[in-house]
Amino acid sequence: MEETESRLPALGRRGGGWVALQVVLFVAAAVVGWLGMRWPSSARPWLWVAGIVALVAGVGLLLAGGAGLGKQLTPFPRPVDTGVLRQDGIYGLVRHPIYGGVLVLLLGWALVSSPLALIPFLLAAGFFDAKRRREEVWLVAKYPDYTAYAERVPRRFVPFVW
């Protein structure tokens, strides 16, 4: 873990500010995708296919991450007091599959809606990387095995990719 990671603000006891900021990003992505200019008509069929594939993959990753956490699923980045470190299932392939699922969903939305929706997607990618770094500070503090887990599972968001 990088030393600078501990310098990211908590934004609340459980990280509620991070959740509020991501809601703003989701709304921005929806509005820009809905109201923004459309992709060129010649590209739309291919972008629709890629977008639908991304949307389905994003939902799958999101659901797998949520199912893997079970009752300890929370919207907040600070781990719940009664939680355990998940290292199996999807968490054996990627450390933050829910964030990855959201990012893939946002990419899919941009592909089926508007090129302008790529802007909130890119902002969300930076945002979720920062949120992940803040969360991992808390995970290292709660779970002594987290650093070894992060070395074993280098992908942060999307299995085999990122």
**Other CB atoms within 10 Å distance of the CB of residue 108:** 24
Own/partner long-range contacts of 65-72 (Cβ < 8 Å, ≥24 apart): 65/90, 65/91, 65/96, 65/97, 65/98, 65/100, 65/101, 66/98, 68/97, 69/98
Q: What is the pTM of this model?
A: 0.94
pLDDT of residue 6: 60
What pLDDT, in 10s, does the model give residues 95-116? Answer: 999 999 999 999 999 999 999 9
pLDDT of residue 50: 98
